[in-house]
Structure 1
């Protein structure tokens, strides 16, 4: 059975320590991370709140990340793509080493809060050992087996994405014929229609990636 681990780690253990220090009022939410054969990692992350000019100045000088490029600018945040160099040891490489999946990763001020999914407890132990061997600090908040198939994090959904999907469902947005519009759901959540549309699109993408493309497992194991 898979295992969910919730951790708090200092900003030095993930990346963008200088960026977070320069813009402590901002929140960085990692959406996904792509690994390349060269050893580099490409994180896609959302920036929310604060002074964007100060953020861009800080990230341009941050040695733990390079090639930060804005992709989507929305009312509730900006999506960036960047690169983590292979010589920067971090939790990012630790979770890849053990085959874990990032369910949530949020950085603010001087810390990151992570929720990772591991295939089993052996992978959790390997994650511990990798972090300790490479001097990566981390604090374990919770380790548990998922018990509810409806838990959004189990399918890669952020709390906001889960909230948007549930609100749309309960409002009748997915009914056929459709009597409720995207604008109606956005008004109920007090967000813009564009922000809700992007949130639901990302949520649908996460559901497809984490539900329809996962490998099947033997329930007898």
Structure 2
């Protein structure tokens, strides 16, 4: 069952990080990417005051083999990028877990990704591979397309509770057997075991109240 994960990473954790750092007015938008083996050749839009000039700097990135300009106009240019086969980092993690990048936007000091995985196991494996490489991911949401969204009800999770639940789920904390401990998650988040435990417990309580009791009350 597929799962869609929205996450952000620091610009320097992904390609073109230096370009974005040197040109804060520039936005790089990577169109949908389906990795084929070790070959990753996305189409990217570069927009900004000097998008055409900045485009020429793409080939100077150590992970880029070639950059072919396809379209230009209205302060933006479309390029086809070919990465070297042995490219590492986040791209390697995506390739190894057969992820589909539905959207990737880089601006200022951050990249935002919307990625799709074949199942939850591969999504968890992706996060673990990124962690093993020292890449810090900020998971914003996890969505299962097979489960329809809840309408008309608020789960009322606080941001800390939502973060705790997302991180715990992504790390396999709720798996049997568990793939992550409460202590390791707490250390990763920079909080105490007790604080994390309370956030998880209260977050789960609010989800149950919203999705079980309120759902049942709607039937009567």
Q: TM-score with structure 2 length normalisation?
A: 0.59
Residue 13 (str. 1) matches residue 16 (str. 2): no
Q: Distance in 2 between matches of 1:71 and 1:14?
A: 23
Match of 1:185 in 2: none
Give a deviation string over 1:100-139, Cα, whole Å, max 9, x none.
2111100112210001111211111111121122222211
Which residue number in structure 1 is paired with residue 63 of structure 2?
A: 64
- Which ranges of structure 1 fall in alignment gaps of 5 or more residues? 150-221
Whole-angstrom CA distance in 1 between matches of 2:35 and 2:123: 20
Q: Indicate the structure (1 or 2) with the bigger Cα radius of gyration.
A: 2
**Cα drift, residue 89 of structure 1:** 1.4
Moved more, 40-49 or 139-148: 139-148
Q: Secondary structure at the match of 1:88?
A: coil
C-alpha distance in 1 between matches for 2:39 and 2:4: 25
Structure 2: runs of 5+ lacking an equivalent: 149-220
Q: Which residue of 2 aligns with 1:163?
A: none
- Cα distance in 1 for partners of 2:32, 2:141 equals 22
- 2:32 and 2:103 in contact (8 A); partners too: no
- SS of corresponding position for 1:143: strand
The offset of 1:9, in angstroms, is 0.7
Partner of 2:168: none
Secondary structure in structure 2 of the residue aligned to 1:33: coil
- 2:51 counterpart residue number: 52
Runs of 4+ in 1 over 6 A off after TM superposition: none
Aligned equivalents of 2:57 and 2:133: distance in 1? 26
Residue of structure 2 in register with 1:143 after alignment: 142
Secondary structure of 2:41's aligned partner: strand
Q: CA RMSD in A?
A: 2.4
Name the residue aligned to 1:106: 105
Closer, same or farther: CA 73–56 of 1 in aligned 2, 3 Å: closer
Number of equivalenced pairs: 149
2:114 paired with 1:115: yes
Q: Is the 8 A contact 2:102 2:115 kept in 1?
A: yes
Corresponding residue for 1:79? 78
> Could you say what secondary structure the match of 2:15 adopts?
coil
Stretch of structure 1 that moved more, 70-79 or 93-102: 70-79
Q: Which residue number corresponds to residue 94 of structure 1? A: 93
